[in-house]
Amino acid sequence: MGRSDHRPGSQLPVTPTTLADVAERAGVSRQTVSNAVNNPDLLRPDTLERVRQTIAELGYSPNRAARNLRTRTSSLIGLRFTPAQEGTANAMMDRFVHSLVEASAEAGYHVLLFPSDDEDPVGGYDNLLRSTAVDAFVVTDTYLGNPQAAWLSQQRAPFVAFGRPWDDDEARHVWVDVDGAAGMRLATQHLIDRGHTRIAWIGWRKDSPIGEDRRSGWLSTMHANGLSTTGLASRVEDVVHSGAEAAAVLLDESEPTAFLCASDTLAMGVLHTLWIRQLAPGRDIAVVGFDDSQVAQVYPVGLTSVRQPLEDVAVEIVRSLRALLSHQPVESRGVLLEPTLAIRESS
């Protein structure tokens, strides 16, 4: 039998059991039953036992709506669900959402998804906030110019961001992020340890702070090891064929022996170019990506990739959220977590 006794073979009563039902049956008042559920310490051990017994017998579970109304909470965390873009390999949302659901459940919260509306990016937040449908939000897209974090701050709505407030020095909200630069240092050092000296970088356009951060990890590690980076960097759009073209140009002009990419999508482009030129990834040329996407995992020649610790991110977010909601002083405004490197045949 499962953890909770849900009595296979029995049906749920048409009208669910209420607190009053339990109270009557156990011969105590409603408040006592309420205390048995929420403040067991207040009851005498024998009373507690009797009430718990009755709760189990009747299969009672507090009505969420009534509790929410009285306590002015919902035990729900709102998350705007943005799916992975088609044609890219950036599918970390899936893993992150799962981790968040798990971590939230541990803390007694559920995750409520709401759709994204590009025309009115804060509309969904506003509705949920006004109707007190959620206790807090988790914000994921903290890219340049995204008004959500600032708007929520201004509304004094509790939220934690996954991602640093890159472009906003004024931001005072709580955030959790993964140290992309550290991940790239890890990857670069890995390649250097394998004997590579001419390691090329293929990243995003300069206006992406995330991309520039990752790039800095490559740059600093190269220089720290006394290696040159001139002519070895390229900045392109985050699509497969851009990665392929960049790799072709770099191969022709600078003869790198390894490629470090800001995303798995770009890495796939590199692999395409290698395939066309009959170069074997891992043996002739090393390739490393970022995100440890499914693509990296199932690609015939496994792609080495920087893996974000999304499980830890979720745990940390929920921890911050709880502190925020219980009005405890938050230890620190931001938390930065270290990624790991999933090493495969491509390096």
Give the up-direction half-sphere exposure of residue 217: CA atoms within 13 A in the CB hemisphere.
Answer: 27
**Nearest approach, Cβ of 261 to DNA (angstroms)?**
51
Q: Is 62 in the site for DNA (CB under 7 A)?
A: yes
Of positions 8, 145, 195, 226, contacts a second copy by CB under 8 A: 8
CB under 5 to 8 A by kind: which of a second copy, DNA, none does 244 bind? a second copy
State in Å, rounded, how far the first CA of the chain is from the last one.
48
Q: Does an H or E element contain 199, and which?
A: strand 199-203
Helix axes of 240-254 and 264-276: crossing angle, nearest 10 degrees? 60
Q: Is 47 in the site for DNA (CB under 7 A)?
A: yes
CB under 5 to 8 A by kind: which of a second copy, DNA, none does 29 bind? DNA
Binding-site string for a second copy from residue 111 to residue 130, where x marks contact by CB under 8 A and - marks none: xxxxx-x-xxxxx--xx-xx
Of positions 22, 26, 33, 76, contacts a second copy by CB under 8 A: 76
User: Could you tell me how many residues make up the chain?
Assistant: 347
Which CB atom, from 181 or from 296, has the smaller least distance to a second copy?
A: 296
What's the rounded Cα separation, in Å, for the pair 347 and 342? Answer: 10
Q: Is 279 in the site for a second copy (CB under 8 A)?
A: no
Which CB atom, from 219 or from 296, has the smaller least distance to a second copy?
A: 296
Q: Is 286 in the site for DNA (CB under 7 A)?
A: no
Which CB atom, from 37 or from 182, has the smaller least distance to DNA?
A: 37
Of positions 44, 45, 46, 87, contacts a second copy by CB under 8 A: 87
CB under 5 to 8 A by kind: which of a second copy, DNA, none does 2 bind? a second copy
Size of site (CB under 8 A) for a second copy? 79
- The residue with tokens 């049956």 is 25
Q: Which stretch binds a second copy (CB under 8 A): 42-50, 189-197, 200-208, 260-268?
A: 260-268
Which residues touch 289 (CB under 8 Å, ≥6 apart)?
A: 89, 261, 263, 264, 266, 267, 268, 296, 303, 304, 305, 306
DSSP states of 136-190: EEEE----TT--HHHHHHHTT--EEEES--TT-TT--SEEEEE-HHHHHHHHHHH
DSSP states of 234-284: EE--SSHHHHHHHHHHHHHHH--SEEEESSHHHHHHHHHHHHHTTPPBTTT
Binding-site string for a second copy from residue 172 to residue 201, where x marks contact by CB under 8 A and - marks none: ------------------------------
CA distances from 53 to 17, 25, 47, 62 (A): 14, 10, 10, 15
Residue 344: alpha-carbon gap to chain centroid:
23
Q: Which stretch binds a second copy (CB under 8 A): 73-81, 210-218, 230-238, 333-341?
A: 73-81
User: Do the beta carbons of residue 77 and residue 104 sit within 8 Å?
Assistant: yes
**Nearest approach, Cβ of 295 to a second copy (angstroms)?**
5
Residues of span 5-44 touching DNA by CB under 7 A: 15-16, 18-20, 27-32, 34-35, 37-38, 42-44
What residues make contact with DNA under the rule CB under 7 A? 15-16, 18-20, 27-32, 34-35, 37-38, 42-44, 47-48, 60, 62-63, 66-67, 69-72
